[in-house]
Amino acid sequence: MAYYLVPVAGDRARAADLLALNGIQNVAGKDGGLVARLAAPDPQKARVRVLASLEGGGFEVGEPSDESEGAPGE
């Protein structure tokens, strides 16, 4: 199973708390924004899981990318 990075816009502290409650890691993105990091069978399932974790919070969830995309040396 691959790891995916899913960008999240909105209240960073609240999003981080909600993600953690659902067992999803969060990291700082390259632009300083919040990014959810999770294992999933495919990118859309990763996005759906993040959306479900943040439901009703007024967050914007971007399109997931494979964690290996853009890795140094590629």
Q: Which domain holds residue 38?
A: 2-66
Compute the average pLDDT of residues 26-30: 88
pLDDT digits 0-9 by tens, 49-67: 999 999 988 999 999 998 7
In a domain, 41, yes or no: yes
| Number of domains into which the chain is organized | 1
pLDDT value at residue 67: 78
In a domain, 72, yes or no: no
In a domain, 20, yes or no: yes
In a domain, 23, yes or no: yes
pLDDT value at residue 5: 96
CB hemisphere CA count around 55 (13 angstroms): 6
Compute the average pLDDT of residues 2-26: 95
- CATH value at residue 42: 3.30.70
CA-wise closest residue to 48 among 13, 1, 4: 4
Any idea what DSSP says for residue 15?
Answer: H
pTM (global) more than 0.95: no
In a domain, 32, yes or no: yes
